[in-house]
Chains A and B, each alone.
Chain A
Amino acid sequence: MKLFAARLGLRTRLIAAFLFVAAVSAATTAALTYREARSAILQQAQDSAVVQFRDRVGAQAVSLPIDSEQLRRVCLQLARAGGGRGWTVFAEYGKLRASSSDRSSSGVITAGLRAATRDNTHGSFQRVVQDGRPWLTVGMPALFDRGDGRQPTGLVLYAVMPLSTEEANVDAMVTAARDGALPALLAALVPALLAARSVLRPVRDLRRAAAGIGRGELHTRITVRGNDELADLAWTFNESSTKLQESVEELRRAEERARRFASDVSHELRTPLAGMLAVTEVLDEDAGELRPDTAAAVRLISAETGKLATLVEDLMEISRFDARAADLHLDEVDVAETVRKTLQGRRWEGRVATELPDGVRAVLDPRRFDVVVANLVGNALRHGAEPVTVRVSGGDRLVLEVEDSGPGIDDAVLPHIFDRFYKADAARTRSAGSGLGLAIAQENVRLHGGTVRAANRPVGGAVFTVELPTGER
């Protein structure tokens, strides 16, 4: 049953339930009506037959003893008097037998009816079905009264009539009941469909709205119709999605505030840092003339100020990505040349092996691509070990691989390698990088519509693979 219910839709089940109820009530009504009407028809037929037969017999006059001719005459007279009834009359007197037909005894009259009629001073009837045909048999003893109460004449009369008319009427009722039940079932389909629609429409709306919420359309609401349970459900759904929307907006605002704060802080830091950088450059130049201790301190300050400036620059870059304020200035470039320029600009040509086939061209933002290459190679040089190889291949997509020969990346770290400020080595709290290099590289790749992933090579060392589309975007 559960499987059966699960397989069928709500509409089918509703319609089935309606039809079942309609069928049961139609069948029950038809059956009860049929039974009552049938017994009424038969009752009426029997009663009128008995009364009529008694009247007709009472109109007869006999002389006692009755001889066989008189017996036969009585039978014929009664049969004629039956009129439309069409009964066959059988008579018994002593051992004499007669009938209105050519057979003197009937196969339909049962021994029970004969005994009851002969031994009692009242009429009896019995319905008999013989060979599939229903018959009504009426037994009537004839009495006479000579002023001292009624006494039997010894004459017993039987009427045997076919119930074919009544049977036809009863059959007609069955046909009528069946013909009535079918339209009733068809009529039940209409409210079934209406009810199914009234249930299914809110359900469909709910499903659509829930799907909308799932897609992130938090403003989706349902029109609440009526006052039923489904309306309550729709109302609750609306309430929930309102709350959800409020929460999400609150979260977004909080995130927005946090980003703006980072952006504002880095902006505010930039101006004093610029001043500090200018000062530390001057101090650096003069460091040679200072005492060695002081010179070391000055150089440390200068180096840290430089790192701070890099960090602030990186922070501002990340803020621009978060604010979706990063623009892509596309240009068609020769990839090999661009990569070479990047390495030369950082003075890394000697430390990095390259596999740069000529003629690979791609449409990309040269500045951002430079940042990507520089960050990946710098990361490889800092955290991996030389030799570091940069490999470029063209085709449908531009593929850039940066390999190092270091210990590789720990499996636990691998999923978080592009997270901001994620320290691969928890013990090493300070590093040369800002901690944002890989995150910025990833943001730049995404901006190009490409992907970047990190993996460990089977022979040892890490490999970072960037895939970029080469064509126009």
Chain B
Amino acid sequence: MRGRYALLSVLLLATGCGIRPTGVVEAGEPATVEVAPAGQLGTLLYFVSSSTASRLLPVIRPADTEVYAVGSGSETERLKGTPAALALLFGGPSRSERDAGLRSELPSGRPKASVELNPQGVKVTLDIPVTGLSRAARQQLICTAARARTADRTETVTVSGTDGVIGPDHCTV
């Protein structure tokens, strides 16, 4: 008799009453949002979010900023395409981006950049040393260059600097 009562109470206890808490449960797909400007317009730059270490967040600069002055005085050139995107990246986060906690781990400045596309992927040549760049900084370069040159951030990228070569590597975002 005692055993039966025990069984009954165990059954009742196991059932429990009310709503009990759970652990974190995976619940399928994430949400996909539209980002302005729509379509392929604008230039994607990758900066580092300071809230989570070495994690890249994309920002989109308006399309009309692709015309950008590099150099000084009479040597002003009008850059377009990938070099322009890289110039923007080296220019660092804007004020609103900084407000959101974004930063760049690339050295600030205006390095000269040339980009070419060959069968091995995108090849970027910079006139600064690159082997000392942090992992986040390399990813910033690679993702931005691949996205700007091929509209596909997963393209293989090789970066050559004055002191060596990075890659070939992929954007991990």
Query: Do A67 and B26 form a contact, CB below 8 Å, given A127-B19, A174-B17?
Result: no
In this complex, which of B21, B33, B49 has the most chain A Cβ atoms within 10 angstroms of its Cβ?
B33
Q: Which residue of B lies closest to A174 (CB)?
A: B17
Q: Report the bound CA distance from A61 to B99 in whole Å.
A: 20
Q: Does B23 contact A (CB under 8 A)?
A: yes
Taking the closest CB of chain A, its distance from the CB of B16, in whole angstroms, is: 8
A54, B29: Cβ atoms under 8 Å?
Answer: yes
Q: Report the bound CA distance from A35 to B35 in whole Å.
A: 44
Which of B11, B18, B44, B57 has a CB less than 8 Å from the CB of A146?
A: B44
A157, B31: Cβ atoms under 8 Å?
Answer: yes
- A233-284 contacts to B, CB under 8 A, are none
- A132-152 contacts to B, CB under 8 A, are 134, 138, 140-152
Q: Report the bound CA distance from A46 to B22 in whole Å.
A: 12
Taking the closest CB of chain A, its distance from the CB of B146, in whole angstroms, is: 9
Query: Do A167 and B28 form a contact, CB below 8 Å, given A62-B35, A94-B57?
Result: no
Q: Does B147 contact A (CB under 8 A)?
A: yes
Taking the closest CB of chain B, its distance from the CB of A8, in whole angstroms, is: 14
Which of B17, B30, B44, B50 has a CB less than 8 Å from the CB of A142?
A: B30
Q: Which residue of A lies closest to B7 (CB)?
A: A24
Question: What is the interface of chain B mostly: helix, strand, loop, or mixed?
Answer: loop
Which of A62, A67, A122 has a CB less than 8 Å from the CB of B96?
A: A67
Contact with B along A138-173 (1 / 0, CB 8 A): 101111111111111111010000010011001100
Q: Does A459 contact B (CB under 8 A)?
A: no
Q: Which residue of A lies closest to B57 (CB)?
A: A154
Q: Does A298 contact B (CB under 8 A)?
A: no
Q: Does B60 contact A (CB under 8 A)?
A: yes
Q: Which residue of A lies closest to B44 (CB)?
A: A146
A64, B32: Cβ atoms under 8 Å?
Answer: no
- B106-130 contacts to A, CB under 8 A, are none
Which of A64, A116, A124, A134 has a CB less than 8 Å from the CB of B19?
A: A134
A31, B15: Cβ atoms under 8 Å?
Answer: yes
B12, A127: Cβ atoms under 8 Å?
Answer: no
B52 contact set on A, CB distance < 8 A: 118
Which of B4, B27, B58 has a CB less than 8 Å from the CB of A125?
A: B27
A163, B59: Cβ atoms under 8 Å?
Answer: no
Taking the closest CB of chain B, its distance from the CB of A95, in whole angstroms, is: 3
Query: Do A150 and B18 form a contact, CB below 8 Å, given A94-B102, A95-B51?
Result: no
A146, B36: Cβ atoms under 8 Å?
Answer: no
A151 contact set on B, CB distance < 8 A: 58, 153, 173
A61, B24: Cβ atoms under 8 Å?
Answer: no
A144, B19: Cβ atoms under 8 Å?
Answer: no
Q: Report the bound CA distance from A121 to B173 in whole Å.
A: 11
A134 contact set on B, CB distance < 8 A: 18-19, 21
Q: Does A112 contact B (CB under 8 A)?
A: yes
Q: Does B135 contact A (CB under 8 A)?
A: no
- A1-52 contacts to B, CB under 8 A, are 1, 24, 27-28, 31-32, 34-35, 38, 42, 46, 50
- B38-87 contacts to A, CB under 8 A, are 40, 44, 49-52, 57-60
Q: Does A312 contact B (CB under 8 A)?
A: no
A60, B58: Cβ atoms under 8 Å?
Answer: no
Q: Does B6 contact A (CB under 8 A)?
A: no
Query: Do A121 and B153 form a contact, CB below 8 Å, given A64-B60, A112-B24?
Result: no
Which of B22, B36, B44, B99 has a CB less than 8 Å from the CB of A62?
A: B36
A64, B51: Cβ atoms under 8 Å?
Answer: no
Q: Which residue of B lies closest to A151 (CB)?
A: B173
Q: Which residue of B lies closest to A149 (CB)?
A: B154
Q: Report the bound CA distance from A32 to B93 in whole Å.
A: 59
A92 contact set on B, CB distance < 8 A: 51
Taking the closest CB of chain A, its distance from the CB of B47, in whole angstroms, is: 8
Question: What are 5 A-B residue pairs whose CB atoms fall within 8 Å in the complex?
Answer: A60-B33, A62-B35, A141-B30, A149-B154, A152-B173
- 14 more A-B contacts (CB under 8 A) besides A31-B12, A58-B32? A64-B35, A64-B57, A66-B100, A92-B51, A94-B50, A95-B49, A112-B24, A124-B24, A126-B25, A138-B27, A140-B31, A144-B33, A146-B147, A154-B58
Binding site for A on B (CB under 8 A): 1, 4, 8, 11-12, 15, 17-37, 40, 44, 49-52, 57-60, 93-94, 96-97, 99-102, 147, 151-154, 173
Chain A to chain B: the 9 pairs with minimum beta-carbon distance, closest first = A95-B101, A57-B31, A94-B101, A94-B100, A154-B57, A134-B19, A61-B34, A63-B36, A148-B152
